[in-house]
């Protein structure tokens, strides 16, 4: 059986992992979600300044694409983020900007954003 994968770029905060995986599996109809974690990844990607860290994220994405044939990239921001302690409005702006930057890498994949609220409920960013 061939499994379907997505790749999520999420915070290291352990509270984010299960809600993201459950939401992505259900809403995008994949079997597994490869997790790439960094503290405040929406900030890292949207600011586009930490080139070594961004290259590390890109390398991990490419492994997910090449080895697991991932067809979806998801960038996640969440309430109460210690690595990026800003409000929801700023997180949403950063997620949208991070999506634009990931799209500029021309990976030819679906790129989506997710916001996790204070109750760990996930919603897509449009």
Predicted structure pTM score:
0.96
Domain boundaries in the chain?
A: 5-125
Q: What is the SS3 assignment for 56?
A: helix
Other beta carbons within 10 Å of 66 = 9
Average confidence (pLDDT) per 10 residues, the chain, 126 residues: 94 97 98 98 97 98 98 98 97 98 96 98 94
CATH of domain 5-125: 3.40.1050.10
Q: Are 83 and 38 in contact (CB under 8 A)?
A: yes
pLDDT at 62: 98
Contacts of 56 (CB under 8 A, 6+ apart): none
pLDDT value of position 126: 79
The predicted pLDDT at position 45 comes to: 98
CB 72 within 8 A of CB 7: yes
């Amino acid at each position: 059986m061939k499994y379907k994968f997505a790749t999520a770029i999420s915070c290291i905060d352990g509270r984010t992992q299960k809600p993201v995986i459950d939401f992505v599996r259900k809403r995008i109809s994949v079997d597994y979600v490869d997790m790439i974690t960094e503290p405040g990844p929406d900030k890292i990607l949207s600011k586009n300044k930490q080139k070594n860290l961004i290259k590390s994220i890109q390398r991990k994405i490419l492994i997910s694409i090449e080895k697991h044939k991932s067809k979806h990239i998801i960038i996640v921001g969440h309430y109460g983020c210690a690595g990026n302690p800003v409000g929801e409005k700023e997180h949403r702006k950063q997620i949208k900007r991070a999506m634009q930057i990931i799209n500029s890498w021309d990976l030819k994949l679906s790129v989506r954003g997710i916001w996790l609220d204070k109750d760990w409920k996930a919603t897509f960013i449009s």
